[in-house]
Amino acid sequence: MAVEHVDGKNKGTVMLYALSTCGWCNRTKELLRQMGVAFDYSYVDLLDGTEQDNAIAQVEKFNPSGSFPTLVIDNKKVIVGFREQEIKEALGS
């Protein structure tokens, strides 16, 4: 899966599943940048065929509704949607 990496403070494995057209996904990404957290993100809408199917399956594993943004921390904590407070609490210093 095509994943972009953003450098920053190591807060564990932080993976953001997003859509390139989604306003809330963009806000989530910007928040993580502002917080200076290292994270990976993937624009699932820009993936093709099997790669996209696999990405959707991963999202659904953590968030059965399959919605975006889905933020997964250390493969266990899941935050669905632009929940600023929750994200800050989970990844703040």
Residue 50 binding another protein, by CB under 8 A: no
64 prior amide bond cis, ω within 30: no
Pick between residue 4 and residue 9 the one whose CB is nearest to another protein: 4
Residue located via tokens 């996904």: 25
Question: What is the smallest separation between the CB atom of 67 and another protein, expressed in angstroms?
Answer: 4
Residue 19 binding another protein, by CB under 8 A: yes
- Tokens representing 41 are 């993100």
Cβ-contact 46, 19 below 8 angstroms: no
Question: What is the smallest separation between the CB atom of 21 and another protein, expressed in angstroms?
Answer: 3
Pick between residue 17 and residue 39 the one whose CB is nearest to another protein: 17
Stretch that binds another protein, among 6-14, 31-39, 64-72 (CB under 8 A): 64-72
Residue 5 and residue 85: Cα distance in Å, rounded? Answer: 23
